[in-house]
Amino acid sequence: MPIRTYRKRPIELQAVQFTGDNIDAVRQLTGESKFSLADDVDRENFHDQEIAAVVWDHLHSTWIGVKAGQWILKGTEGEHWSIDPKVFADTYELVDEEATA
């Protein structure tokens, strides 16, 4: 089979940037039981003292660490993950300005 070039299909995702003080907005995106602020055990498990929260990724059945400033995304299957602001800005664009109001 020859090597061919593919383009990723455009999809729309919901996202919110975690600021540390917008817990209600994050829980609105993720659901109450799929997000919590990190504690010392979480930071130790992730080997990262900058982890400020955790979000549940049901596709991989694991908790994902989230740092302040990172974006939390909700995928097409309802999964959640975090992404750094620079990567988010380089990869995603706002679809509906009014949906963010």
Return the closest-CA partner of residue 69 out of 47, 95, 51.
51
**Over 90: is that where the pLDDT of 17 sits?**
yes
The domain spans of the chain are: 14-93
Reported pTM: 0.83
Residue 73: strand pairing partners: 15, 81
- Predicted local distance difference test score (pLDDT) of residue 3: 95
- Predicted local distance difference test score (pLDDT) of residue 97: 67
What confidence tens digit (pLDDT) does each residue in 54-95 have?
A: 999 989 999 999 999 999 999 988 899 999 999 999 999 998
Sign of CA dihedral 38, 75, 70, 24: negative
**Over 80: is that where the pLDDT of 99 sits?**
no
Residue-by-residue DSSP string for the chain: -------PPP---EEEE--SS-HHHHHHHH-GGGEEE--HHHHHHHT-TTEEEEEEETTTTEEEEEETT-EEEE-TTS-EEEE-HHHHHHH---S-GGGG-
φ/ψ region of 20 (left if φ > 0, alpha if ψ in -120 to 50, else beta) reads left
